[in-house]
Structure formats: structure tokens, C-alpha cells
Amino acid sequence: MVMNTAPIFAPPDTPCELRGEHRPVDLVFLARQTGGDRALEEEVLRLFAKQAAILGNDLRSSSDCDFRKRQAHTLKGAARAIGAFGLADQAMLIESDPDNTAPVTALLREVETVRDYIASLLR
């Protein structure tokens, strides 16, 4: 397995390509969570991207409110753990009102945004 040795986040003086300087994952927070271990950051991001896709699909396809609440809760915690706070907020909306399917579309968009961002970091 070839490890990417490039830094996982850009230096502070590097402009972010996302509008408004908004990054879907707070990389400073992630670095604190991983003790600055870049290999661990990459592993955690890869695992999260896979888990977020699975949980997003579960939320899209399920009509069981208890199941949706559990999946949203799981996604919320995982997103907070890596610093994807916008995604965690979207998951919290579903967790607090699992009968309402309207927030699922916004959550799925945010899942894709976060996954795309992670993919761009891991290239």
C-alpha cells in the first residue's frame, strides 16, 4: 500500500478553493483529534467517507423512524469526531424529527460535499 506523503491540509496562507473559505471538515480540529498523526488522519477520513455513504443511503431508503433516528445519531457522532460540523448539524435535524423526510435531501448533499472534499485531500 502506497501512503500519500503530501500534507493532508494546506498551510493557513493557501487560499481554499471553496467559496467563503468554508471547508466541510475542520482540519485543525481533526489534527487535534489525531495528535497531528497524518497517517491516522488519512485513515480516519477514509473510514468516515465510507461510513457516511452507507449511513446516507440508509437514511435515504428507510421509512422506519427508529432506524432513521439511530442512523442519524451515528452519523452525527462520527461527523463531529472528524470535524464535519455542518454534516453533524444536518444529521441532528433528522435525529430530532425522524418522521420528517425533508432534511434528508440536504443531508445527502452535505454527505457528498464532505466525501468530495475528503477525496480531494487524499489524492
Please report whether residue 48 resides in a domain.
yes
Please report whether residue 67 resides in a domain.
yes
Please report whether residue 14 resides in a domain.
no
- State the burial class of residue 99 (Cβ atoms within 10 Å of its Cβ: 0-12, 13-18, 19+): exposed
**What is d(CA 116, CA 119) in angstroms, rounded to the nearest whole number?**
5
Nearest to 33 by CA among 96, 80, 70, 76: 80
pLDDT at 1: 45
pLDDT at 22: 79
pLDDT category of residue 23 using cuts at 50, 70 and 90: very high
Please report whether residue 9 resides in a domain.
no
Write out the residue range of the structural domain in which residue 77 sits: 30-121
pLDDT tens digits, 75-84: 999 999 999 9
The pTM score is: 0.81
Cell of 12: 493557513
* Average pLDDT score over residue span 37-66: 96
Please report whether residue 54 resides in a domain.
yes
Please report whether residue 4 resides in a domain.
no
Structural domains in the chain (count): 1
What CATH number corresponds to the domain at position 88? Answer: 1.20.120.160
